[in-house]
Chain A
Amino acid sequence: MATKTVAFEIKRQASPDASAVWERFELEWRPGMNVTTAMMDIAANPVTADGHATTPVTYDSNCLEEICGSCAMRINGKARMACSALVDNLEQPIRVEPLSKFPLVRDLQVDRSVLFENLKAVKAWIPIDGTYDLGSGPRVYPQQQEVNYPFSNCISCTCCMEVCPQFNEDTGFVGAATIAQVKLFNNHPTGKVLKEERLRALAGDGGIQECGFAQNCVEVCPKRIPLTNAISDVSRDVLLQKAKDFFAK
């Protein structure tokens, strides 16, 4: 009996300046197979479906259980994590491309460092006095923890930015992930000491007013973070802050 196979089409690009080509692969199917397994299989036998030798595919991956946020790519047109993309649930040939809104490095690997720069700009941290023993933290009631915890699950995969029509070079929009972190830190009893600075960081060009409420972000988020709620709440706070700053002049 012939072994069952899985067909892939993968967009390849050797470098940012090279031209892109699509390569087709026929791989042996196995139960529970996901897109990252397919990449590993290609690395062990880098030959296309028509028998041409090629190179292993360059892509980001690490945990393979959808918690590190590395392996975001476009699979059959949808931005998602490759590790949790099971081939049995996908139409074939499975078309795999890099995220389109970030500078391409090679093949499926892109440079998403903009998100980490954004997190710096909004001071996404709790300004503790120091790491020496200062006793217990502030009391946080379970109801409050249950509101904050989902926002702390953001894996920085940038899928929400990829699918956002406003996330592009023209607007310089920070994107939903960063806004959700602003909500998280502004909600924290100690974190809110930087609330005004965070809101001002989102008040200018590329800030929260660039959001067009397309709601693509919340649909694509692999961690089901209530991103649009965060955007609404932070929008209101930014407006209040702007008004406050205006009258304080």
Chain B
Amino acid sequence: MASPRIIVVGGGLAGLAAVIKIAEAGGSVDLFSIVPVKRSHSVCAQGGINAAKNLKGEGDTTWKHFDDTVYGGDFLANQTPVKAMCEAAPAIIDLLDRMGVPFNRTPEGLLDFRRFGGTLYNRTAFAGATTGQQLLYALDEQVRRYESEGKVKKYEGWEFLSAVIDSKGVARGITALDLRTMELRSFAADAIILATGGIGAIFGKSTNSVVCTGSAQSAVFQQGVYYANGELVQVHPTTIPGEDKLRLMSESARGEGGRVWVPRTLGDKRPVKQIPESERFYFLEEWYPKYGNLVPRDIATRAIHKVVYENHLGIDGQPMVYLDLTHIDRATLDRKLGGILDIYEKFVGVDPHDEPMKIFPGMHYTMGGVWVDFNQMTNVPGIFAAGEAEYQYHGANRLGANSLLSCIYGGFISGPNALTYARNLPAAEGDGGHAAEVTRQGELNDRLLKNEGKENPFKLWRELGDTMTKHATVIRYNKGLKEADEKIVELLDRYKNVSLADRSQWANTSFAFARQLKNMLELSRVVVQGAILRDESRGAHYKPDFPERNDEKFLKTTKASFTGLADGPRFEYEEVDTQFITPRPRRYDAAS
């Protein structure tokens, strides 16, 4: 029998990890990516990757990593896969080390580890403050090696449009668009793995890269794949507000001793460095003495919101607080945080060695995603998912430096499982649905290209981003969420009048964007409606009208399915696997 063909969509850490495992096991892989894989969004990750290697004599264990992750996620994550991930983490770090990742070192030549949020241990391995870049390159290099051996074929500059699903509901391949020639084609596969990242673009501005639209996840959702915990979205406490995006200022800045503060007095006019220590309000350290500046992200984000919007202590009355590194010596900062300090200086024009940075929370990460089982397969046989695109490892709030781990681990699990599945797959009947799917996608393309109206897709997108950021991020009210849903319905209606300023059939970026936009709109309803239904506060999902966690009603995974009806998705709930750690109150302010 010929070796099975697997398609991996997305060339970030999760996708590349899957590719490597499949190629190593003798499978053939077609790898699809909008951008050259080396330019994937994983490259933006900064601070590090967690593994309880206990190289600092602190008595850290994989169980403690597991407990911190589950507790940090407010018990919404299924515990079996999280436990397995934390147990696999030390060996993953070793592997990355063997692949040549230039991790920071101790004087003895061993891996160095630093603190991160939501834990009291030095558990985070790091390569300066460009860890995501270094990890992505290491995997990219291994994939390039397999590519040169003919085991991997890359389709860079192709955008996934849909899965090809046969008459029995089994995936048989994908359709994709060549973003240069605009050619629409289908590609056969025995299994497909979606590793298409987060959905930041539905919030307009976020820390995510341009390609993180969630379009692929939304496309398969509309083809019958469940979308889980869509309402759980992480807002990172420390980002640099910008016109085009919110640039991440890594948690590692606080891991290395960075302190968050505002002047105690509203309207303090003194230059920042002349404000004496006693007149600085280190609110995270005061409110959370045990974890201090390293509380989990949802906690830090809400604290900053409170200081700015309730205490009215934002710097100069603006929605900004200080993130201060100026007490740390220059050489240490350069060695451990150089990459992110460069970013701040380049984009803000102020040197953070000398002056505290001004930061504010910004949309950062998608805890929710495509629903998968413990084998990383969705409810549609043959469609697997890994990385930020799926929902499995972070519950209601992700801990810093767990994302790189979950991406690589999820990729490592999905690859071999997809191969095993594919080896046992009976042949398709007829063409497996390829011709019909190409026809369907071709019709969608034609309609969009010829559509007459007066709506500009980029303007609709800005309106979507504004409403999502306003109503569906840090603080949520059902009234506002309902407004957001109505706004999305309005935008879906106006989308019917989208007219493209560019109707050419060569490298037409607005055409590709308009296709993504439709999928973004559909997925936004999953986020907003899921948030309306979850009448509690858990992790990143916070409703002042329902301030407590309600395990009785909502210790459950939200599962949305597409209906195509005006009311939007259908929702159902699934029990969470809590067999190892009994849910307990999550109190970072208590000295428990």
Residue total for A at the interface (Cβ-Cβ under 8 A)? 72
Q: Identify which of B38, B94, B134 contacts A136 (C-beta below 8 A).
A: B94
Inter-chain contact A56/B142, CB cutoff 8 Å: no
If A124-B141, A152-B137 touch, does A14 touch B504 (CB 8 Å cutoff)? yes
When the two chains form their complex, are residues A124 and B144 in contact, meaning their CB atoms are under 8 A apart? yes
Q: What is the size category of the interface that chain B forms with chain A?
A: 35 or more
Q: Which of B24, B100, B128, B180 has the most CB of A within 10 A?
A: B100
Chain B residues with CB under 8 Å of A168's CB are none
> CB-nearest residue of chain B relative to A105?
B507
* Residue on B nearest A39 in the bound complex, by CB: B244
Q: Is the CB of B38 within 8 A of A191?
A: no
Q: Report if B168 contacts A (CB, 8 A).
A: no
Q: Is there a chain B Cβ closer than 8 Å to A34's Cβ?
A: yes
Question: In the complex, are the beta carbons of A191 and B343 less than 8 A apart?
Answer: no
A22 to chain B, nearest CB (A): 18
Q: With A53-B501, A68-B43, A126-B98 given, is the CB distance from A40 to B141 under 8 Å?
A: no
Contacting pair A141 B347 (CB below 8 A): no
Give the chain B neighbours of A46 by CB distance below 8 A. 501-502
Which residues on the B side are within 8 Å of A33 (C-beta)? 243
Interface-forming stretch among B64-72, B102-110, B362-370, B561-569?
B102-110
Name the distance in Å between B94's Cβ and chain A's nearest Cβ.
Answer: 5
Residue in contact with B145 in the complex, picked from A61, A86, A127, CB distance below 8 Å: A127
Counting CB contacts under 8 A, is B451 at the interface? Answer: no
B99: chain A residues within 8 A (beta carbon): 126, 128
Name A's interface SS: loop
Q: Which of A142-150, A207-215, A232-240 forms part of the interface with chain B?
A: A142-150
Q: With the chains together, A83 CA to B348 CA distance in Å?
A: 12
Determine whether A139 belongs to the interface, using a CB cutoff of 8 Å to chain B: yes
Q: A136-B97, A137-B97 are in contact. Are A67 and B148 (CB under 8 A)?
A: no
A92 sits at the interface (CB 8 A) = no
Q: How far is the CB of B213 from chain A (nearest CB, A)?
A: 12
Q: Verify A116–B36 contact, CB threshold 8 A.
A: yes
Q: Which of B284-292, B309-317, B394-402, B456-464 contacts A (4 or more CB under 8 A)?
A: B456-464
Residues of A within 8 A of B35 (CB): 60, 62, 68, 70
**A55–B144 touching, CB < 8 Å:** no
Q: How far is the CA of A152 from the CA of B96 in the complex (A)?
A: 14
B104-131: contact bitstring with A at CB < 8 Å (1 yes, 0 no)? 1111111100000000000000011010
- A sample of 18 cross-chain residue pairs with beta-carbon separation below 8 angstroms, ordered by A number, consists of A34-B242, A43-B510, A44-B459, A44-B462, A46-B502, A63-B210, A64-B210, A64-B244, A66-B343, A67-B133, A68-B35, A106-B507, A116-B38, A120-B144, A124-B144, A140-B102, A142-B106, A149-B128
Chain B residues packing against A (C-beta within 8 Å):
20-21, 24, 35-36, 38-41, 43-44, 91, 94-95, 97-100, 102-111, 127-128, 130, 133-134, 137-138, 141-142, 144-145, 147-148, 156, 180, 209-211, 242-245, 247-248, 335, 339, 343, 346-349, 412, 456, 458-459, 462, 501-502, 504, 506-510, 513
